[in-house]
């Protein structure tokens, strides 16, 4: 791992800085001047590694190496497959195999392919790898080469390849690879601190609830009480609860886990891991499956950062950062609205104080910083959320205009999302049509879609409500001067793909923003209103900050 960059990373409790740097390397990898791996693939890779659920991936990687070696004729066959085939995407790998393997009639009779997958026939068995799986496997190879080194991998794979691979020898190589990665993670992925964190939170909740608790026990007062009780304590157990943000995130994660784990079906089907099951070991695939249920496999912000949506600037950096915590907290954030606001206001302020302390500023300067650490109060923060909601509406409207003009079906989804109560009866006439003899006939779905969307683009024919919506959509598109919204850009045939893939994520962001703002408006605050609450919380947080950072009077 490259020392200079590792030093730039803050210490990571569960994973080492080296591990974080390795994931960063994968995420930074470029091919043909473009990001090689999408954010979604990088996240999937992190899930696999952090949950230690990589055994199946190691097997697939080793089989893929035999496919890669069969492609082309140069002395660097598998390397070309992984590092000379462009950005890691399903279509790219399919094209590479088509060109390099299938183009060579007698190159590798043991490997064949169809549109969806590659099949490998060994003397003692067979294996298939879907093209759609290859971007993830390629990211796994990039990660392995980063943490283990090319030399180590090449030794392993050359041994496998030089003997003429069999299903058994590939499986054996995959086991060796798993052991190598396990050995690396032993030093770089520790669990002790997170376990202590978990035990600490559970003990606190059990004490509050006379020995028992459920996810709903995690409420706003609990989060604040825990932070006040734990943040100032010397952590002899090496568990850091100093920042309010870390406490909020820990409770959000605990609540999410408790909500999901009770009904988690995969556990019932999981194979026991021998005698270790009794010692509390759980099948890593079950852990990964639960983590993926909770975590952001379909986080809308991640989808917006992925191609093809990333070509269009739906959100700028500040807007995305403003949404990050809300989206990451998901529906759990709705259960802890005051804690969320405290995190956004006082948590952000605490980050500034911690930074100043790391810079070793003088005590009086630190004290002054604490006194004036808050930039946005609760009402100002809410007003930023309101602005974000308005912006999301505008971007959705602009997307509607682009998608309707491009006759894309997602336009209908946007209409339903933007105006769920709209009178769609004027559209009914576009769902049926008369034949030559004047009989009513049913149109097929593509024809219906074409007619509907064509009608939407022609507002005069569809009634006043839809016409007005389409008028707003047109205006919204003209008002946006960001990358991807220009007249020439939206006229490109490929533009529709970016807008189409962003439609659902944007609708989800809008939904979460609206739900959270409704929650804030309707909630009963301990101090009556948001101004009073801010005043009261300011006192609490300032006193605690002064105590924590050693500048109390």
Partner 1 sequence: MTGTWKAFTQDRRALAEQAFDALSTLDEITAAMRARETGERQVGFGDVYAYVNEPGRPMSTRLREALEADDRLRDDLLRLLAKTAGYRCPRSAAAGTKVLESRHGQGFTIRLRPSRAEPSQVYVVIELLDPAAEAPRSLFIAEQQDGLLKQALPEARGGTVQLLAETESDLIRALRNPRSEVFLR
Report residue 38: phi and psi, to 5°.
-75, 155
2 binding partner 1? (CB under 8 A): yes
Q: Does 331 bind partner 1 (CB under 8 A)?
A: no
Closer CB to partner 1, residue 122 or residue 198? 198
Based on CB atoms, which residue is closest to partner 1, 47 or 63? 47
Give DSSP secondary structure letters for 260-303: HHTT-THHHHPPP-GGGGTTT---HHHHHHHHHHHTTTT-HHHH
- One residue of 55, 264, 426, 508 binding partner 1 per CB under 8 A: 264
Interface positions, 103-162, toward partner 1 (CB under 8 A): 142, 145-146, 149-151, 154
206 binds partner 1, rule: CB under 8 A: yes
For residue 200 the two structure tokens come to 């600490």
Q: Pick the closer one to partner 1 by CB: 3 or 522.
A: 3
Q: Tell which one of 106, 162, 263, 440 touches partner 1 (CB under 8 A).
A: 263
- Please identify, using beta-carbon distances, which residue of 109 and 211 lies nearer to partner 1: 211
215 binds partner 1 (CB under 8 A): yes
Q: What are the structure tokens assigned to 1, written together?
A: 């791992």
CB 22 within 8 A of CB 1: yes
* 58 lines the binding site for partner 1 (CB under 8 A): no
* Out of 60, 69, 285, 295, the residue judged to bind partner 1 by CB under 8 A: 295
If the CB atoms of residues 197 and 408 are measured against partner 1, the closer one turns out to be 197
Residue 182 is a binding residue for partner 1 (CB under 8 A): no
Are 80 and 328 spatial neighbours (Cβ–Cβ below 8 Å)?
Answer: no
**Residue 333 and residue 326 in contact, taking contact as beta carbons nearer than 8 Å:** yes
Angle at 430 between CA 426 and CA 435, to 5 degrees: 135
- Contact (Cβ atoms closer than 8 angstroms) between residue 90 and residue 131: yes
Measured from the CB of residue 84, what is the shortest distance to partner 1 in angstroms? 7
For the CB of residue 299, give the shortest distance to partner 1 in the complex, in Å.
11
Q: Which of 249, 305, 419, 449 binds partner 1 (CB under 8 A)?
A: 249
Q: Which helix (H) or strand (E) holds 321?
A: helix 317-335
CB of 410 to partner 1, least distance (A): 30
Q: Are 416 and 469 in contact (CB under 8 A)?
A: no
What the block records as the tokens of 192 is: 């002790």
Per-residue tokens: 229: 């009780």
CA distances for 282 relative to 56, 183, 267, 285, 500, angstroms: 16, 19, 9, 8, 40
**Binds partner 1 (CB under 8 A): choice among 54, 127, 213, 346:** 213
Number of residues forming the site for partner 1 (CB under 8 A): 83
The structure tokens listed for 151 are: 């030399």
Question: What Cα–Cα distance (Å) separates residue 310 from each residue in 304, 313, 373, 417?
Answer: 6, 7, 34, 22
Among residues 91, 130, 202, 454, which is the contact residue for partner 1, using CB under 8 A? Answer: 202
| List 13, 55, 128, 417, residue binding partner 1 (CB under 8 A) | 13
Our finding on whether 250 is near partner 1 (CB under 8 A) is yes
| Cα–Cα distance measured from residue 224 to residue 217, given in angstroms and rounded to the nearest whole number | 13
* Structural element, H or E, at residue 77: helix 77-83
The region of 119-127, 246-254, 432-440, 522-530 touching partner 1 under the rule CB under 8 A is 246-254
List phi, psi (to 5°) of 297: -55, -35
Q: Does residue 41 touch partner 1 according to CB under 8 A? A: no
Please report which residue ranges of 86-191 form alpha helices under DSSP H.
Answer: 90-97, 134-147, 150-162, 167-188
Query: Considering only residues 99, 123, 164, 195, which one is a binding residue for partner 1 as defined by CB under 8 A?
Result: 195
Angle at which helices 220-230 and 530-548 cross, to 10°? 20
Q: Does 183 bind partner 1 (CB under 8 A)?
A: no
**Residue closer to partner 1 (CB basis): 152 or 497:** 152
The single residue among 126, 191, 383, 483 that binds partner 1, judged by CB under 8 A, is 191
When the beta carbons of 122 and 264 are compared against partner 1, the nearer one is 264
Residue 196 C-beta: closest distance to partner 1, Å: 10
């Amino acid at each position: 791992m490259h020392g200079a960059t590792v030093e730039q990373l803050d210490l990571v409790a569960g994973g080492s800085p080296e591990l974080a740097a390795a994931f960063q390397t994968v995420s930074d990898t470029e091919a043909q001047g473009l990001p090689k791996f999408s954010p979604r693939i990088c996240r999937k890779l992190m899930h696999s590694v952090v949950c230690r659920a990589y055994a199946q991936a190691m097997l697939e990687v080793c089989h893929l190496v035999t496919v890669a070696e069969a492609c082309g004729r140069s002395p660097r066959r598998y390397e070309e497959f992984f590092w000379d085939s462009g950005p890691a995407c399903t279509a790219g790998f399919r094209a590479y195999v088509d060109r390099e393997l299938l183009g060579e009639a007698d190159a590798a009779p043991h490997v064949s392919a169809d549109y969806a997958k590659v099949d490998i026939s060994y003397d003692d068995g067979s294996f298939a790898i879907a093209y759609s799986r290859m971007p993830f496997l390629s990211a796994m190879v990039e990660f392995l080469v980063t943490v283990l080194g090319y030399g180590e991998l090449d030794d392993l794979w050359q041994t496998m390849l030089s003997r003429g691979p069999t299903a058994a020898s590939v499986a054996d190589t995959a086991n060796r690879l798993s052991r190598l990665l396990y050995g690396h993670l032993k030093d770089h992925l520790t669990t002790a601190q997170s376990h202590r964190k978990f035990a600490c939170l559970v003990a606190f909740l059990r004490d509050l609830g006379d020995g028992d608790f459920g996810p709903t026990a995690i409420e706003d007062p609990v989060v604040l009480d825990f932070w006040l009780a734990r943040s100032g304590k010397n952590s002899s157990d090496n568990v850091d609860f100093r920042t309010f943000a870390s406490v909020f995130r820990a409770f959000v994660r605990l609540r999410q886990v408790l909500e999901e784990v009770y009904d988690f079906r995969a556990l019932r089907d999981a194979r026991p891991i021998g005698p270790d099951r009794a010692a509390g070991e759980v099948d890593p695939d079950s852990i990964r499956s639960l983590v993926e249920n909770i975590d952001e496999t379909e986080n809308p912000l991640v989808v917006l950062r992925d191609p093809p949506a990333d070509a269009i600037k739906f959100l700028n950096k500040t807007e995305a950062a403003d949404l990050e915590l809300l989206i990451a907290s998901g529906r759990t954030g709705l259960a802890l609205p005051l804690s969320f606001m405290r995190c956004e206001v006082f948590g952000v302020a605490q980050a500034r104080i911690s930074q100043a302390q790391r810079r070793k500023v003088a005590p009086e300067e630190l004290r002054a910083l604490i006194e004036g650490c808050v930039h946005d109060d609760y009402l100002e923060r809410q007003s930023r959320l309101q602005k974000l909601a308005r912006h999301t509406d505008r971007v959705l409207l602009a997307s509607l205009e682009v998608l309707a003009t491009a006759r894309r079906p997602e336009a209908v989804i946007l209409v339903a999302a933007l105006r769920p109560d709209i009178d769609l009866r004027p559209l009914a006439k576009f769902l049926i049509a008369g034949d030559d003899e004047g009989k009513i006939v049913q149109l097929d779905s593509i024809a219906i879609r074409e007619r509907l969307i064509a009608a939407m683009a022609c507002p005069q024919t569809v009634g006043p409500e839809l016409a007005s919506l389409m008028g707003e959509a047109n205006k919204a598109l003209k008002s946006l001067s960001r990358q991807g919204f220009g007249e020439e850009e939206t006229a490109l045939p490929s533009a529709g793909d970016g807008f189409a893939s962003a439609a659902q994520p944007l609708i989800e962001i809008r939904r979460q923003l609206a739900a959270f703002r409704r929650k804030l408006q309707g909630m009963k605050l301990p101090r009556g209103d948001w101004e009073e609450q801010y005043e009261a919380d300011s006192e609490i947080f300032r006193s605690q900050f002064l105590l924590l950072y050693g500048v109390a009077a």
